Structure 1
Amino acid sequence: MKIPLSYIARNLWMRRLTTGLTAAGLALVVFVFATVLMLDEGLRSTLVTTGEYDNVVVIRRAADTEIQSGIERAQANIVATHPAIARGPDGQAMLSKETVVLISLNKRDTDKPSNVIIRGVDLRGLQLRPQVKLTSGRMFRPGASEIIAGASIARRFAGAGIGEKLRFGQREWTVVGLFDAGNSGFDSEVWGDADQLLQAFRRNAWSAIVLRLASTDSFERFKKDIETDPRLTLDAKREQVFYADQSKALSTFINILGMTLSVIFSIGAMIGATITMYASVANRVGEIGTLRALGFRRRSILAAFLTEAMLLSLVGGVAGLALASLMQFMSFSTANFQTFSELAFGFKLSAAVVLKTLVFALIMGFIGGFLPAVRAARLRIVEALRAA
């Protein structure tokens, strides 16, 4: 015979105070665990959505970021003539030769400096990123010292609002528009005319080339042609893969720090669950003896107490997950370890995060309740009834 689940749940309800305190401890651990997963999911989502699958980024060989890269004009012209590149309605290649520079700007609230990416693009650059849309103001004019700022940059940095001015590259630049990049990494950038930024920073090489392929299936051939051409020392990557790689170092750091805290806290939570379940066994010795006398086997007693512990952990898990879900309304910014620029992203709750979090909570309950459950199952009928 199996002990009914309703009987197990009623036992938890009868001990509401200890159940609540133990569940609260478990909820705290689950909250930490879930927020770490949500932070990592938000980071990866931000950087992956920065790129388009059909877009390709060409950078200097062995360069990990656009800031480290340099593409000479002659090399850029060779890449631009490749037949795999898509053509626009005007017959021109869907390609943007871009300059990427790191500058320091002061934050509005603290007046402390932080690194920001300045990206020089041509008019094709906006067409290649359909997720980037102007929300106010207008597009910068080619040949002018005008820039547009990401929504995140405009909120956080002094001088980045519409009509304000920023000084860098020995020039004063006017912010003429704001854009929203759909919570992608471009929200943390400032865009301007590529040729003007080349002149301002006295550069004679592009940082990267972004292009769209006429056919998705032609990527491998395009990549091989570019990387084996003796005139070029360049690498080609799909844009989504390129930006996803930017998250690896920061994601690793977040995971190590978060998992370390989760393990430390979970040990305390499991000890608390174990103490609670041991107390439950001690207070219900007579009840356990009665159940055994009625014909319930040891494994039924073991299963009942394990289920009780896991049900307790599930309550704490759901509470912790509900608390963590509120973090979705918060934004977070930190330095990208690859580019050393500030990157804004948010917490993201996905189905995978929910599943991992609940499994983590159930594992804590199982470990915390195993020894008390074994203790309950090993009680002898006569001794248990006599103790009652």
Structure 2
Amino acid sequence: MMTVVPLHYIARNLWVRRVTTFLTAAGMALVVYTFATVLMMSEGIRATLVATGQPDNVLVLRKGAGAEINSGVDRLQAGILESLPGIATGRSGERLLSKETVVLNSLPKAGTGKPSNITMRGMGTAGPSLRPQVRLAEGRWFRPGTAEVVVGRSVATGFEGCQVGQTLRFGGRDWLIVGSFDAARTAFDSEIWGDADLMMQSFRRSAYSTVVFRLADASSFERTQAAIAADPRLQVDAKPEIRFYEEQSEGLAKFIRILGTVLSVIFSIGAIVGAMITMFAAVAQRTGEIGTLRALGFRRSAVLIAFLTESLLLSVVGGVLGLAAASAMQVFRISTTNFQTFAELAFQFQLTPGIVAQTLAFSLFMGFVGGFIPAWRASRMKIVDCLRAA
């Protein structure tokens, strides 16, 4: 008794019914495209935020604050933090520490004019040095103590009136845009930077939002954290900056992943039904072939595996087509609202080997579920009935 139907025979049957094969594969490809795009969006948001943080930077917020915009570090606390040992120094001997004010401001989006929130970050002179991924793209940096700002790449291209040389009105005064910067596709691309003390005054803030500093030795974080916790005047939380941004990405990425997975599962029901109909039609049209295979000595299990393999090949075609379409999304840069800050966040879709593996597994699952029942029916058909029908 023969146990395996040749693979070329299975693949040839798909080619003979190429119109039906293409239409069914296209339906699966649409579902795979949706599934892969959602995973790429989630990964893009996570990668953008995680890349924003530096492993040797420490970010200090008010105890219990989940985001910079609802944090507060008063001047006394900021002064104590500035005197901590172990803070790195720059080339001129200055301490790499920045007392920062983070607020939201609404600006009209380019093209539509609809308002959207932008993160305004006031920082000290060491602020840009603490972000090595940030490079000045045009103009110059703002001067401390002046109403000058620099804008991220996504702000400059996505909002009205945000080009170098133009003026923004907020906080009761006019702010001159003197430069734009490229933050290497991190969250800083969606921010506007200026002088911290002047922004505090303009937005009537009595305390900084956060304090950011770089450790001379990244491995000394636990000692620094213990020193902060031991001082009763410091009711603050200290975190590695990279961990803070990882936590910021979790909520939004998880929401998108869950919502997209639910939609993909709903859409997949239609694709599975389509595959099932296609395979039932194939069984009905090839009754004589099934009888001949059985008469030649192929076992029932061989017929089952043959039709199931055909369905899986169909799903692979759909999976590859869907992945190819989804991969093209990587050239686009879009924006969404960060639920942690309620500010706009620009990001790009990210396709990773893990997403490719998950997507193909999802596609094969649809092919298996859609093809199993027709394949089982084909394997249970009697030889005499098949030959009589032929």
TM-score, length-normalised on structure 1? Answer: 0.97
Secondary structure at 2:59 match in 1: strand
Alignment-derived partner of residue 384 in structure 2 = 382
2:184 maps to amino acid: G
Q: Does 2:287 align with 1:275? A: no
Shift of 1:229: 2.2
2-structure distance, mates of 1:371, 1:212: 61
Alignment-derived partner of residue 174 in structure 2 = 172
Equivalence map 1:52-71=2 (5 Å)? 52-71=54-73
Equivalence map 1:28-39=2 (5 Å)? 28-39=30-41
Secondary structure at 1:255 match in 2: helix
Alignment-derived partner of residue 311 in structure 1 = 313
Equivalence map 1:51-200=2 (5 Å)? 51-200=53-202
Secondary structure at 1:114 match in 2: strand
1-structure distance, mates of 2:247, 2:295: 62
1-structure distance, mates of 2:150, 2:346: 17
Alignment-derived partner of residue 258 in structure 2 = 256
- Structure 2, unmatched stretches of 5+, are none
Shift of 1:257: 2.0
1-structure distance, mates of 2:356, 2:193: 37
Shift of 1:89: 2.8
1-structure distance, mates of 2:133, 2:6: 54
Shift of 1:375: 0.7
1:147 maps to amino acid: V
2-structure distance, mates of 1:165, 1:89: 33
Secondary structure at 1:202 match in 2: coil
Secondary structure at 1:205 match in 2: coil
Shift of 1:132: 0.6
Secondary structure at 2:92 match in 1: coil
Q: Does 2:222 align with 1:217? A: no
After TM superposition, the runs of 4+ consecutive aligned structure 1 residues lying more than 3 A away are none
Shift of 1:165: 0.3
Alignment-derived partner of residue 284 in structure 1 = 286
Instruction: Map Cα deviations across residues 9-49 of structure 1 (whole Å, 9 max, x no partner).
Output: 10100101110110010001001101101110111011111
Alignment-derived partner of residue 372 in structure 2 = 370
Alignment-derived partner of residue 2 in structure 1 = 4
Secondary structure at 1:328 match in 2: helix
Shift of 1:87: 2.3
Shift of 1:386: 1.9
Secondary structure at 2:122 match in 1: strand
1-structure distance, mates of 2:308, 2:166: 63
2-structure distance, mates of 1:106, 1:227: 42
Q: Which deviates the most, 200-209 or 302-311?
A: 200-209
RMSD: 1.2
2:166 maps to amino acid: E
Shift of 1:333: 1.2
- Structure 1, unmatched stretches of 5+, are none
Secondary structure at 1:85 match in 2: coil
Shift of 1:345: 1.1
Q: How many pairs align?
A: 388
Q: Which deviates the most, 230-239 or 192-201?
A: 192-201
2:242 maps to amino acid: Q
TM-score, length-normalised on structure 2? Answer: 0.97
